[in-house]
Structure 1
Amino acid sequence: MIDDLFIPFYSATYSRKYLTDQYEANKVSQAKTKSYQVCSSFMYHLQHGQLYFNQGTHSPIEIKPVLLFYGAVQLLKACILTRDPNYPENSQVLAHGVTTRKRKKATYRFLEDEVKIQKNGLFSHFLDKMFHMKHLEGEKYQMVTLLQHIADMHPLFKRLTKNSLSYKAKLQNNTVLMSQEILDGYHMTVNRFEQFLETNTTAKDSKNVKVQEEKNNIKILFSKLPPRWTSQPWLYDITGDMYLLKNREQVHSYQLPELASHFLLLYNLSMICRYEAEWWGI
């Protein structure tokens, strides 16, 4: 599937046109000239990212996270180039922009491990350019929190803990149906739940929301459904189904897009398998 997505970008003509369109849409000056200057770098980042992912798919589990992480790094750099033709302007944005504990303790538990966001680096620059998110310096994220914000992990959590993490929604065009159970779980009225969604929705075009109460369900009407790449507080699984976490405090306190969660998880896993081989092998 990922190979098919990259096929059009094998063409320099297509890539230049794509970059020009992106720059013009984002009001970048001299869009056409800069697309010519950036095109080769953009294409190579995509090709290298694809190569890392393909090799990672067929590699032993002991080294898989390293290849997948560096594949993600290459693709994030390609994404940045669609918004910022001057990337990298300095050496500060070349660092990963994330740190983790240097040495694991004897009582180490992966789910309790955490990563910390630095002021400068690829991660912060990516969030700024692609999602207009700033001021994340010093923020810490536990692995369990990152995993819980990936809907495709919820069945595994349910199997391990015997508890469901989320409420599942039924999607009908721009309308979402959910059990009234969520109102009881969140201790909210319909009006309060509507305000909660408006406040915590990151996608600006999806903030206009109306919630209606029916016999056994609530109906949530969006002017525009939240896009998958910036859907908080909604989570999408790989099939397109939507979810809300049962823990409303987690919904309120977590605003990272899912792609960022994957990046942080891969970063920590790659660090463990490179520098903490005894933990990775257990």
Structure 2
Amino acid sequence: MKLEHYDLFIPFYSSTYTSKFLLGKYEQKEITQAKTKSYQVSSSFMYHLQHGQLYFKQAQASPIEIKPVLLFYGYVQMLKACILTTNPNYPENSQVLAHGVTTRKRKKATYRFLEDEVKVQKNGLYSLFLDKMFHMKHLEGEKYQMVSLLLQIADMHELFLTLQNKKVSIKGSGNVKVNEIEIPSAILDLYHMTSNRFEQYLESLNPSYKGVKVIEQRQNLIIKFKKFPNKLHSFPFLFNTKEEIFIFTERQKLSDGSLPELATHFLLLYNLSMICRYEAEWWGDLIHTFDGVDYPFIAQYVNIVQNKIPSLIYSYLLG
């Protein structure tokens, strides 16, 4: 029988297990007083995780009108648990308690969600978790458009094909045991590259792909990695909820998809939660009139994310 996502975390609801788990994380990072801090932090870690799951469980039973708020705040709680595995002193000041992103406060009459943007601020949870969890620095003032963020979610690609007649990606297959991904060799024509140039392209996008080898074999490319791509940050490869692998049909610039998937979800859910809290009229009209194409994208995304985020968080915690 398949476990529900909120059962994945059951082992963490033991202070003995969680203290030992945190101790291992802190010793790995050579944090001083690791044993004392792992004991002190274990309760906070467990409560953040539990509160996050309660929000997600409630979201699954709630109408779409309020789902984004529940999902965003549940996600924030889970992220705080993740940060505690790398920084036992969180939160160190009030600045890190802000969300760290902002959006347009007033929506125009012609507003469309897919065209909306969020902007990164200097301080807050967003920049903190990028730094602590993925060792990435963000650029203050950087903007991300909703349609660009949705394109980074492989589970959304079928809907792009249906609604916009846009084939966003092609499917590959992976073999974790031998650190290989196999994709159709047609990608070389789509990218206007040789296999050698494709190797260089992959290395330029992701430091963990250094030393990658691309071998042409009949109709496919065999891509050999030193270490199999981490689904939490695998650009330009994308993993869907079923762990299937995709690559974009169009060559992507680093700025188009360099974010880990967890960062993409943060930006999308932040904006959706702000809209359904502060743009009640537009949000109500969207849900009840089915105007334009925004609603299918939002509804599909919300359905996907309520299962996918707990799975990604679990993967992060287990390393």
Same fold (TM over 0.5): yes
Aligned twin of 2:307:
none
189, 194, 202: which one aligns with 2:199? 194
Where relative contact order (Cα < 8 A, 6+ residues apart) is larger, the structure is 2
Among 206, 210, 219, the residue aligned to 2:213: 210
Answering whether residue 135 of structure 2 is matched by residue 144 of structure 1, we say no
Note if contact 2:236-2:252 (Cα within 8 Å) is conserved in structure 1: no
Distance in 2 (CA, whole Å) between partners of 1:60 and 1:175 is: 42
**Partner residue of 2:228 out of 214, 225, 228:** 225
The correspondence for 1:126, drawn from 114, 129, 135, is 129
- TM-score normalised per structure 1: 0.96
Aligned-pair CA distance for 1:172 = 3.1
Structure 1 stretch 160-169 or stretch 92-101: which is displaced more?
Answer: 160-169
| Aligned-residue CA RMSD (Å) | 1.2
| CA-CA distance at 1:175 after TM superposition | 1.7
**Is residue 247 from structure 1 mapped to residue 267 from structure 2 by the alignment?**
no
- Any gaps of 5 or more consecutive residues in structure 1? none
Alpha-carbon separation, structure 2, partners of 1:228 and 1:102: 34
Give the one of 161, 165, 169 matched to 2:164: 161
Structure 1 segment 268-279 matched on structure 2, within 5 A: 268-279=271-282
The amino acid across from 2:244 in the alignment is: D
Look up the match of 2:180: 175
Query: What code does the residue aligned with 1:108 have?
Result: Y
CA contact (8 A) 1:211 1:220 kept: yes
Distance 1:216 1:228 in 2: 25
Q: 1:252 to 1:271 in 2, by over 3 A?
A: closer
Within 2, Cα distance between the matches of 1:268 and 1:138? 16
- How far residue 2 of structure 1 moved from its aligned partner, in angstroms, is 2.1
Distance 1:250 1:112, change over 3 A: farther
Deviation at 1:38, TM superposition (A): 1.0
TM-superposed deviation, 1:252 = 5.6
Q: Look up the SS of the partner of 1:235 in the other structure.
A: strand
Alignment partner, residue 290 of structure 2: none
**Deviation by residue 1:141-199 (Cα, 9 ceiling, x = unmatched):** 10001100000000111111122101211223422221121111111111000100111
Q: Counterpart of 2:30 in 1: which secondary structure?
A: coil
Separation (CA, whole Å) in 1 of partners of 2:255 and 2:73: 31
* AA matched with 1:213: E
CA distance in 2, matches of 1:269, 1:16: 35
Measure how far apart 1:40 and its partner are.
1.2
Tell me, in whole angstroms, the C-alpha distance in 2 between the residues paired with 1:280 and 1:252: 30
Q: Could you tell me how far apart the structure 1 residues matched to 2:124 and 2:190 are?
A: 39
Q: 2: distance between equivalents of 1:66 and 1:169?
A: 35
Q: What's the counterpart of residue 237 of structure 2?
A: 234
- Contact 1:200 1:252 (8 Å CA) reproduced: no
Contact 1:117 1:138 in 2 (8 A): yes
Q: Is the 8 A contact 1:245 1:251 kept in 2?
A: no
Please list every run of at least 4 consecutive aligned residues from structure 1 whose deviation after the TM superposition is greater than 4 angstroms.
none
Aligned equivalent of 2:263: 260
Say which is worse superposed, 130-139 or 105-114, in terms of deviation: 130-139
User: Structure 2-normalised TM-score?
Assistant: 0.85
Maintained 8 Å contact 2:148/2:256: no
Task: State the match for 2:101 in structure 1.
Answer: 98
Amino acid at match of 1:197: L
Q: What's 1:79 paired with?
A: 82
Q: Gaps spanning 5+ residues in structure 2: where? A: 286-319
5 Å-filtered alignment, 1:25-36, equals 25-36=28-39
Cα deviation, 1:38-68, whole Å, max 9, x if unaligned, reads 1111111011101111111111211110000
Given that 2:130 and 2:138 are in contact with CA atoms closer than 8 Å, whether structure 1 keeps it comes out as: no
Q: Identify the range of structure 1 (209-218 vs 149-158) with the bigger mean alpha-carbon deviation.
A: 209-218
1:17 alignment partner in structure 2? 20
